[in-house]
Each structure stands twice: as structure tokens, then as C-alpha cells.
Structure 1
């Protein structure tokens, strides 16, 4: 039996090229997620000069930017960041689902691991809690998870 696993924080990845797509809507939350993602990538040994960040208008645009980054061939790992907060209108349903589905499709179509931290919360307090500077920052978790997936996929793809 073969088991593929990795603790990304115990790896060194100075040459790994990472693309991060950030939604500008709810920017104060997304900036905190980005700070967390950068902390996570640092824990994984990624050189900050190999990280490129694309800001897009909202979460609905995140999948298109992620697909474009993935198809460029310039990145081993992507991270998608955003915050969709439920309000009084149906925008939540029209944005959150297509964003998640779009990122899943990009990941499956390209084989590129994408850490997903587009928050979907009921209110700003929940979004703030998930994007704080301490443990539980979903941007940090998504970035570390993407690097972990890259290592697991490399192991699975390696010839025996």
C-alpha cells in the first residue's frame, strides 16, 4: 500500500511560483486573507518574489482570473481569496455558488491545485473571525493546503 501525504509547512519551496487572485469587494476582509495567505506561503518556504497577486472587482470574476493564471503556465499553485457576505438581496446565491463552481472547474480542467478561501458568511463578524491575524485565518489555511496538494500530486504523478 502507498500513502501519499505531506505537511507543507515542513517543506522548502523557494522556487515555487504562486498566483493569488483577490476579490476587491469587501477588500478589508480580503486584505486580511491575503496577509494570511502570504504568512502561510512563508511557512512553506515560498520566496515572496515568486508570488504574483491579481486583484479583480469581485468574487464572480475570481474564476476567470484563476483560469487565465492557470493557463499561462507560469504557476505551480494558485490561491483564490474573496468574501461574499449575505445581505438583503439574492446576490449571495448568484455570486457564491458560481465562484466556487468556477474554481473547482479550473482546478479539475488544469490539474493545478487551487487553495480556496472565498468566504461565504452571514455577516461581517463571521468574515472578520475567519480572516483574523491569529489561528483560523482561511487565507493562510488555503495557501498551505494548495502547497500540500502540489506535493501530494507530485508524489502521485512520480514514476515508480
Structure 2
């Protein structure tokens, strides 16, 4: 959990696997664009920094966070995609819409990963207000996009470990 003392983007990069041959899809919600673009830039740059090739990263846009699940399924079903990173931002606001959307997206992305056997990463911010979103999209709490990219890389490493014969 992020706090004033802890950044979301503090993670270990020890022993990351080689991802130079891996292919990633990054899905980006068009709702709260200022935040989701910052998340995308963080994820994209982090993938490049840790060995992914630009030509192996494809971006897809969806209208809102709710549509991330279906978009993730479409990309995960492709043979040439190894991992999907879903990025969005659903701000609390005055109604409970965020509760329904966040639950549906989390469940949907989980189901896609389980169905396809590929890493499908939940990079959706669920802040109480716009400032909290900004703080987690490159602000004082780091960038959740960075964290999502590292998670995808680590899950590909685990997948390789699990399926490598002794």
C-alpha cells in the first residue's frame, strides 16, 4: 500500500528474466487520459529499460477501464503475445460506480489470465480523487505503470521456471 513514506514503484529488479524475445500488449483506457498516458509511458519505458524491444510492444486503446477485460482477452488469445498489461484509472467520485467497475475489471482480468495461461496484469488505479491518481501515475508515490511492467516480466520468468524441465 502506498503512503507518504512508501512509493509504489519500489521493487526488486534482481534476477529479471531475458525478455528481449518476449512480446507484450499494453492496453490503455481512454478515460482519465492524463493519468493513463502517464501509466502507459511508465510501463513502456520500464519494459524497454529491462530488455524488451520496442517492436515487440503493441498498444491497444479501450474506451474505459470496464473494457480492459475483453481487450485483454483478445490480445491474450494471440499466439504472438506473451503478456498483457491492462492500464486504467477509476476514481471514486460521488457514486459507487467505481466499486462495480473495479470489481468487474479485476475479476475479468483474472479470468483472462487463468483461461489463457498468460500473465494478464492489473494496472488499474482505484484512487479516491484525482490527486491520488496523479500521485500514483508518476507523482510522489511512483508510477503504477512501472510496477505493472515489472510484474509482467517477473510473471514471465516464473512461467519459464515452472515449464522448464529439470
In the alignment, structure 1 residue 139 sits paired with structure 2 residue 145:
yes
In the alignment, structure 1 residue 47 sits paired with structure 2 residue 53:
yes
- How big is the shift at 1:40? 1.3
In the alignment, structure 1 residue 25 sits paired with structure 2 residue 36:
no
The partner residue of 2:96 within 82, 90, 93 is 90
Q: Structure 2-normalised TM-score?
A: 0.87
- How big is the shift at 1:159? 1.0
After superposition, the Cα gap between the structure-2 partners of 1:152 and 1:114, relative to the gap in structure 1 and judged at 3 Å, is same
Please state which structure has a larger fraction of its residues in helix.
Answer: 1
In the alignment, structure 1 residue 79 sits paired with structure 2 residue 78:
no
After superposition, the C-alpha distances for 1:104-140 in whole angstroms (9 at most, x for unaligned) are 1111111101222100010011100110167621111
After superposition, the Cα gap between the structure-2 partners of 1:140 and 1:67, relative to the gap in structure 1 and judged at 3 Å, is same
In the alignment, structure 1 residue 66 sits paired with structure 2 residue 43:
no
Counterpart for residue 3 of structure 1: none
**How far apart, CA to CA, are the structure 2 residues paired with 1:59 and 1:49?**
25
- How big is the shift at 1:43? 2.2
Q: Which runs of 5+ in 1 are unaligned?
A: 1-5
SS at match of 2:165: coil
- How big is the shift at 1:90? 2.3
After superposition, the Cα gap between the structure-2 partners of 1:151 and 1:10, relative to the gap in structure 1 and judged at 3 Å, is closer
SS at match of 1:97: helix
The partner residue of 1:103 within 104, 109, 116 is 109
**How far apart, CA to CA, are the structure 2 residues paired with 1:69 and 1:45?**
21
Q: Structure 1-normalised TM-score?
A: 0.90
Q: Which runs of 5+ in 2 are unaligned?
A: 1-11
**How far apart, CA to CA, are the structure 2 residues paired with 1:22 and 1:53?**
7
**Residues matched between the structures, number:** 155
Contact persistence 1:36–1:133 (CA under 8 A): no
Moved over 3 A (4+): 6-12
